[in-house]
A and B are shown apart, each in its own frame.
Chain A
Amino acid sequence: MYLQKALTKSIRTDFIVEMVQMVSGLLLVLFLWTHMVFVASILLGQSSFGALAGFMDKYELLPVTVVVLIFIFAAHIGAIMRHLPARWAEQKVAWRHAKMIRHKDTWSWLFQIVTGFGILLFAFIHIVAVTYGGISVSLSKGRIDNPGFLIFYAILLLMSEYHASVGLYRIFVKWGFVNRHRLDRVLGVVTLLMLVIGFVTLGVFLTLKVAGGGVA
């Protein structure tokens, strides 16, 4: 026994933080996929997208989403910090280690850390842009027509789908719900599907002729 341990009332902290990590991760995946379906509504026509954007506007859902999202992001980041090779020396060990043992899943963890921080930066810019810019067919098209923004969205899409799929994979593997290699396949397909929808959506926006504008 150590003094600090004797003075610690709850030894449940690590467990709770692990749960926060998982639940926040799952909520973010849920958000990511819902978000994709919403944006992809443009595939059904401008009126569907416009209607959804209008609905979000009417009930002030945009600010609510942004606030909730920031909370979930904060919880996720707070929870994952404890596993990260946070110190410089640990970073070096982690990368050297992955190289030395040539192990695919170990690499995927390091890429998850990189994409996580990438998402943090990109999502911040994205959220600022839609919060202050607003969402409608013409506004969204206006952003995507800018080649800088287009590349930006493509990268954000790739990073978040990769991160989400690896994260889901690890949750299932850790808790032992399914067979490892079959899961690899299933999540690969889901991710591919999401990427295809995402890129087709971006493509549709690019070639769109705004008919009478959106709702805003």
Chain B
Amino acid sequence: MSPRELTFHIFRYDPETPEVKPHTQTFKIPEEPAMTLFVALNKIRDEQDPTLKFDFVCRASICGSCGMLINGKASLACKTLTKDLPSDITLFPLPAFKLLGDLSVDTGTWFRDMSVRTESWIHTDKVFDETAQEEKMDDDLSLEIYEAERCIECGCCVGVCATANIRPNFIGATGINRVSRFMLDPRDKRDEQEYFEVVGNDDGIFGCVGLMACDDSCPIGVPLRGQLAYVRRKMAVAGWHRK
């Protein structure tokens, strides 16, 4: 069987040269066995257009830098096999993030801001004793925390979220998932009211309209729907108690 010819329709825009309007450019390449979009994009850049911008680091679904819209669906380009796609492939950068050019967006600034606003660190007044033995954690609990920690900050859930696209301060499903991780952690001494101040508002859980685009998109399979519901219920209880 002769290999398929793949036709890529790739979004092109460089904010440095605004006189060139945003457009999609078409590239054709022959498909190879076990080809990922990572391989395909590099081939296009090497052989056809060295100015094409896109991000990759780990090419193994670990670093989270290659999120993009692949035929409309947000996912990691490095783990997407071309054989799972039709021969016409449209690539767009993730919405909601600052566009650096073509398929490259700045997720770092967004995630840093979200981390600061959700206060993503263990809040405790215990002084760390480096000589003491580490405290044990229950296995089930550590697994539950790990479920949320698996997020690789690719931003797919933020890119597809309608709310995040129209409300720049919304912390998104990844932010709410992040908070759930600290809520579970017994070392974090924040009480429900302190969490309420962080996420019990329209920039947090009550800004979410429940369209579940995030849940349908997470390439790592973080159970976002469950995490959103967990935080929503906790915050409803906290809101009820609050005077």
Contact = CB atoms under 8 A, between A and B. Distances in A.
A174 B211 CA distance: 8
Size band of the interface chain A makes with B = 20 to 34
B160 A103 contact: yes
Contacts of B165: 93-94, 97
Interface stretch (B12-20, B79-87, B202-210): B202-210
A109 interface: yes
Interface string B139-183: 000000000000000000000101101100000000000000000
Contacts of A90: 166
Contacts of A143: none
A48 interface: no
B218 interface: no
A162 to B, nearest CB: 16
B6 interface: no
A12 B228 contact: no
B74 A101 contact: yes
Interface string A83-103: 101000010011001101111
A209 interface: no
Main secondary structure of the interface of B (DSSP, over half): helix
Nearest to A16: B239
Given A90-B166, A97-B162, A105 B229 contact: no
Interface in A147-191: 170-171, 173-176, 180
B73 to A, nearest CB: 7
A2 interface: no
B233 interface: yes
Given A90-B166, A100-B69, A106 B211 contact: yes
B230 A176 contact: yes
A102 B216 CA distance: 12
A15 B235 contact: yes
B226 interface: yes
Contacts of A106: 160, 162, 211, 213
A12 B242 contact: yes
A57 interface: no
A101 B73 contact: yes
A211 to B, nearest CB: 49
Interface of B: 69, 71-74, 92, 95, 160, 162-163, 165-166, 196-197, 200-202, 206-213, 215-216, 225-226, 228-230, 232-233, 235-236, 239, 242
Nearest first, the 4 closest Cβ-Cβ pairs linking A and B are A176-B229, A15-B239, A174-B210, A102-B72
Given A83-B202, A180-B215, 16 more contacts: A11-B201, A14-B201, A17-B206, A82-B202, A93-B165, A93-B166, A97-B165, A98-B162, A102-B71, A102-B73, A106-B160, A170-B211, A171-B210, A173-B210, A176-B233, A180-B225
Interface of A: 11-12, 14-19, 82-83, 85, 90, 93-94, 97-98, 100-103, 105-106, 108-109, 170-171, 173-176, 180
